[in-house]
Structure 1
Amino acid sequence: MQFRSIIRIVGLLLALFSFTMLAPALVALIYRDGAGVPFVGTFFTLLVAGFFCWFPNRRYKHELKARDGFLIVVLFWTVLGSAGALPFLLLDSANVSVANAFFESFSALTTTGATVIVGLDDLPKAILFYRQLLQWFGGMGIIVLAVAILPVLGIGGMQLYRAEIPGPVKDSKMTPRIAETAKALWYIYLTLTIACAAAFWAAGMSAFDAICHSFSTIAIGGFSTHDASMAYFDSYAINMITVVFLLISAVNYSLHFAVFASGGVHPKYYVKDPEFRAFIAIQLALFSVCFLILLNHHTYDSYYEAFDQALFQSVSISTTAGFTTTGFADWPLFLPVLLLFSAFIGGCAGSTGGGMKVIRILLLTLQGAREVKRLIHPRAVYTIKVGGKALSSKVIDAVWGFFSAYALVFVLCMLALIATGMDELTAFSAVASTLNNLGPGLGDVALHYGDIDDAAKWILVISMLFGRLEIFTLLILFTPTFWRN
């Protein structure tokens, strides 16, 4: 294990992250809200800390192995999440405890969107912008950004890329070089963010709200600058824009790259992709069920309003964004639980969405169907095909392994929450929301997480990390084999 090289890289990345503090400091200067000092102080603190990690180890530039990459990713996300808590602690107007500050920071960076802060409408613009900015960086993964713009790292970036990008098959690259791949991802990400902000602004949002909500929409994060979330704007147009960009962001970015690289003349790449087709089918099914039940129970006064609420909530929850326009926890019958379970599926692999990813659910379904066929015809040989290509048993085993580890982590986190005194419904929904990087839950966490016990918040922070790093990236560090030479 190249520990000194790892410390050097973490130091460089921490120094890079320190510069993000200047953006909210500039916002504080523009709006004169008096919140700039904590961000300037955090900037210098992180810059110095990064320097002291880098300087003694600056000559160690050895090629990293795969397990070094996993350790860097985990270290950086834990260090970054901890560093991101500093402005919340230093800002008097936020008035948050240590547990709340860390919870809010990790929730933003992992794009979970669960908040412990109430009274958002009265907070300084700088802290509101900072929360959204953290989500935007966390959406694609700041390490991918660092690999793209910091060739000074002098490492094989594929080790970091494979540990960071979600999905069951991580060895595919869109371009021959990893740095070019990371740049391509961020160009697409930035383009979508600008387009989303422009659409929000044209629909009636202020420039500040448009930029902030574009950050959390493209990142599929769910943070808002208002306590009422998207309900604050009470606009059908804004709701529809949010739905469109959430769906776009929940699609595999390699598909976006393929279409963009063709100059937009080959949208057929989307239709040909089996995961995309499954994703759209799931979205249509969820919307249809929600819409029909809301109509049957006369939950809303008009067909149009029922359509708008059903579409927005089904897309927002199933893509793990967590924006709300209504109290969906109060919807009739099984709809709240159905939407919560839909977050287990989440977005497509290679997207900014959370959950287990559509491709894994598709493969598990195909594997289940194959086992049924084998019971009927024990001697027959069946292969699992996706997109006309037969998949190896290695991929299927990896998916089953992920599902098993996911279930184990879920159960352990839920039991730990119940041990803190939390009721079963709240514990179940809290773990489901944080492990899937969703945000809103049911029971005591339907609105916010500010009232739960501090011990429960730390458990949920761990759950967020497991979800963001796709279980194995973090779980592998707890195995003795990982640390053996």
Structure 2
Amino acid sequence: MHPAIIFRVLGILLMVFSIALLPPIITSIIYQDGALVAFLDAFAITFAAGALCWYPVRKRQQDLRTRDGFIVTVMFWLVLALSGSLPLMLAEQPGLNFTDAFFESMSGWTTTGATLITGIDHLPESILLYRQLLQWLGGMGIIVLAVAILPMLGIGGMQLYRTETPGPMKDSKLTPRITETAKTLWYIYAFLTVCCAIGFWFGGMSLFDAICHAFSTVAIGGFSTHDASIGYFDSIAIETIAVIFMLISSVNFALHFYAWRFRSFKQYLADAEVRTILTVLTIAGVVTFAVLTASNTYEANDALRYGLFELVSIATTTGYATADFTAWPIFLPFMLFFLAFMGGCAGSTGGGLKVIRVLLIYKQGSREVKRLIHPNAIIPIRIGGRPVDDRVVEAVWGFFSVYLMLYLIMTLILLATGLDFVTAFSAVGACINNLGPGLGGVAAHYGDISDVAKWTLSFAMILGRLEIFTLLVLFTSTFWRQ
């Protein structure tokens, strides 16, 4: 382990992040919204902290090892959440205390979208842009962005990429060089963001709202510049654009790369994850439409409109709203909420367990049933026609079992704070799956829960964003042994 190199990387990344405060600063100057001093102070503090970490060890030249990569990944997300909370505390609006500001910042960076702020419509424009920008930077992972510049600074970045890239298949590279891989992913990410912003603008949003919502849509974050979320605009065109880009962003970005490189869409249809998520959404869409119309909740047209939007928003873990799905009849609120446990595809900006893991768990269960009938048979698990190594299946089951245990522990902690079961259960699920809105007392916002619950849920957010093991490995004695 190389503490000096770790501090050097963290210092560089903090100074780079301070640059992200420039757009809100410019916005504050343009709109004269009163938050300029808060952002200038936050910029100075963040840059100075980064410089203090970097300057004493600036001449150290060593490659990061795997252990260093894990530490930098986890530490930087924590440091990002801390530094990201500064404007939220320093600005007169929203003027949050430390716990609330950290929760909101962590929610933004992890693209969870769980907010405790009310009166969003009345916040300064620079704060509104800043919240959306946090989600956009967190969408693909700030570490992947940093990997694109670390080689130029004499620091190897492959270890960071492996610890941050989501999904069970972490070693596949789109291009021969990790730097080019990171750059390519961000080019695609930025291109989709621009396209989404243009779509929203032509759909009827103001340019400011279009840019802000493009940030959170492509990031699958769910923050909005209005308390009523996307429902504020009451526009079928805007809702349709949002659905399209939520679906696009929930797909593995490697497929977007292949489609761009080879000018072909065959990779999408051939991908098992894409076929699975489309199948699940189609079945759930039919059920949602049938229940909403049969229960006379909406007329047929509105049932299709609101049902489809909420289904895609919740299932992809975006968390936008055009209707209060928690008030829908029978089992629909829980069905939609449980779909978020599957989440998006591996390598996407979505949260949840990831489609590939759910698919492997299903196939493993099916194989065990077949083995009861044919105990001596050799039955390989195949994804996309190719056999999956049993080691991968074991890792998925290990991930799932730890996920369930942590889910149970955090739910019990929230119950101990006095929350009812539905609120506690859904709050943990919404945060560990990076969804945002929950059920019960956290359906609208998280402002009414205790500080203990907020810190627990903040831990759940980073746990889900780093896919559990990246964080938990730091709590093992084996990791710290020489």
TM-score (norm 2): 0.99
Whole-Å Cα distance in 2 between the matches of residues 468 and 204 of structure 1? 33
Whole-Å Cα distance in 2 between the matches of residues 483 and 121 of structure 1? 47
Residue 44 (structure 1) shift: 1.1
Structure 2 counterpart of 1:190: 190
Structure 1 counterpart of 2:426: 429
Structure 2 counterpart of 1:294: 292
Contact 1:114 / 1:438 at 8 angstroms: preserved in 2? yes
Structure 2 counterpart of 1:81: 81
Contact 1:148 / 1:180 at 8 angstroms: preserved in 2? yes
Residue 150 (structure 1) shift: 3.8
Contact 1:139 / 1:352 at 8 angstroms: preserved in 2? yes
Whole-Å Cα distance in 2 between the matches of residues 116 and 304 of structure 1? 33
Structure 2 counterpart of 1:447: 444
Q: Secondary structure at the match of 2:412?
A: helix
Structure 2 counterpart of 1:115: 115
Structure 2 counterpart of 1:132: 132
Contact 2:151 / 2:157 at 8 angstroms: preserved in 1? no
Whole-Å Cα distance in 1 between the matches of residues 429 and 72 of structure 2? 26
Once structures 1 and 2 are overlaid, which stretch shifts more, 22-31 or 153-162? Answer: 153-162
Whole-Å Cα distance in 2 between the matches of residues 466 and 190 of structure 1? 26
Contact 1:9 / 1:153 at 8 angstroms: preserved in 2? no
Query: Over residues 424-477 of structure 1, what are the superposed CA-to-partner deviations in whole Å (9 max), with x where a residue is unaligned?
Result: 110000000000000000110010001111111011000000000000000100
Structure 1 counterpart of 2:251: 251
Whole-Å Cα distance in 1 between the matches of residues 350 and 52 of structure 2? 35
Structure 2 counterpart of 1:55: 55
Residue 268 (structure 1) shift: 0.6
Residue 151 (structure 1) shift: 2.8
Map residues 203-214 of structure 1 onto 2, 5 A cutoff. 203-214=203-214
Identity %: 57
Residue 378 (structure 1) shift: 0.6
Q: Secondary structure at the match of 1:170?
A: coil
Whole-Å Cα distance in 2 between the matches of residues 287 and 198 of structure 1? 28
Map residues 33-48 of structure 1 onto 2, 5 A cutoff. 33-48=33-48
Map residues 36-435 of structure 1 onto 2, 5 A cutoff. 36-262=36-262, 264=263, 266-300=264-298, 302-435=299-432
Task: Write the letter of the residue equivalent to 2:17.
Answer: F
Contact 1:287 / 1:314 at 8 angstroms: preserved in 2? yes
Whole-Å Cα distance in 2 between the matches of residues 36 and 280 of structure 1? 45
Whole-Å Cα distance in 1 between the matches of residues 214 and 254 of structure 2? 21
TM-score (norm 1): 0.98
Whole-Å Cα distance in 1 between the matches of residues 455 and 27 of structure 2? 30
Whole-Å Cα distance in 2 between the matches of residues 36 and 291 of structure 1? 47
Task: Write the letter of the residue equivalent to 2:86.
Answer: L
Whole-Å Cα distance in 2 between the matches of residues 388 and 455 of structure 1? 47
Query: Over residues 177-205 of structure 1, what are the superposed CA-to-partner deviations in whole Å (9 max), with x where a residue is unaligned?
Result: 10100001000000000000000000100
Map residues 11-26 of structure 1 onto 2, 5 A cutoff. 11-26=11-26
Residue 269 (structure 1) shift: 0.7
Task: Write the letter of the residue equivalent to 2:267.
Answer: Y
Contact 1:108 / 1:132 at 8 angstroms: preserved in 2? yes
Query: Over residues 409-438 of structure 1, what are the superposed CA-to-partner deviations in whole Å (9 max), with x where a residue is unaligned?
Result: 111111111111111110000000000000
Residue 154 (structure 1) shift: 2.0
Q: Secondary structure at the match of 1:199?
A: helix
Residue 368 (structure 1) shift: 0.3
Residue 50 (structure 1) shift: 0.5
Contact 1:13 / 1:50 at 8 angstroms: preserved in 2? yes
Residue 235 (structure 1) shift: 0.5
Q: Secondary structure at the match of 1:113?
A: coil
Aligned residue-pair number: 482
Whole-Å Cα distance in 1 between the matches of residues 392 and 345 of structure 2? 16
Q: Secondary structure at the match of 2:418?
A: coil
Residue 93 (structure 1) shift: 1.9
Query: Over residues 303-351 of structure 1, what are the superposed CA-to-partner deviations in whole Å (9 max), with x where a residue is unaligned?
Result: 1111001100000000000000111000000010111110000000000
Contact 2:150 / 2:157 at 8 angstroms: preserved in 1? no
Contact 1:94 / 1:123 at 8 angstroms: preserved in 2? yes
Whole-Å Cα distance in 2 between the matches of residues 108 and 409 of structure 1? 22
Unaligned runs of 5+ in 2: none
Task: Write the letter of the residue equivalent to 1:420.
Answer: T
Query: Over residues 85-134 of structure 1, what are the superposed CA-to-partner deviations in whole Å (9 max), with x where a residue is unaligned?
Result: 00011001213121110110000000000001000111110000000000
Whole-Å Cα distance in 2 between the matches of residues 402 and 135 of structure 1? 25
Unaligned runs of 5+ in 1: none
Whole-Å Cα distance in 1 between the matches of residues 165 and 290 of structure 2? 37
Query: Over residues 49-104 of structure 1, what are the superposed CA-to-partner deviations in whole Å (9 max), with x where a residue is unaligned?
Result: 10110011112221121121111000000001010000011001213121110110
Query: Over residues 357-402 of structure 1, what are the superposed CA-to-partner deviations in whole Å (9 max), with x where a residue is unaligned?
Result: 0000000000000000001111111100111111111111111111
